[in-house]
Amino acid sequence: MVAVDEAPPPAAAKEKDRGAADPRLQGISDAIRVVPHFPKPGIMFNDITPLLLRPAVFKDAVDMFVERYRGMGIAAVAGIEARGFIFGPAIALAIGAKFIPLRKPKKLPGDVFSESYVLEYGTDCLEMHVGAIEPGDRAVVVDDLVATGGTLSAAIRLLG
Ligand X SMILES: O=P(O)(O)OC[C@H]1O[C@H](OP(=O)(O)OP(=O)(O)O)[C@H](O)[C@@H]1O
133-142 exposure pattern, b = at least 16 Cβ within 10 A, e = fewer: beeebebbbb
| Interface with ligand ADE (CB under 6 A), residue from 7, 13, 25, 44 | 44
The span from the CA of 51 to the CA of 107, in Å, is 27
Q: Which is nearer to ligand ADE, 46 or 116 (CB)?
A: 46
The least distance separating ligand X from the CB of residue 91, rounded to whole angstroms, comes to: 16
Q: Write out the residues near ligand X by the rule CB under 6 A.
A: 80-83, 119-120, 124, 143-152
Helix (H, G, I), strand (E, B) or coil at 16: helix
Catalytic residue among 54, 67, 81, 120: 120
| Interface with ligand ADE (CB under 6 A), residue from 4, 43, 72, 75 | 43
**Closest of 142, 144, 143, 146 to residue 51, by C-alpha:** 144
| Interface with ligand ADE (CB under 6 A), residue from 9, 14, 37, 46 | 46
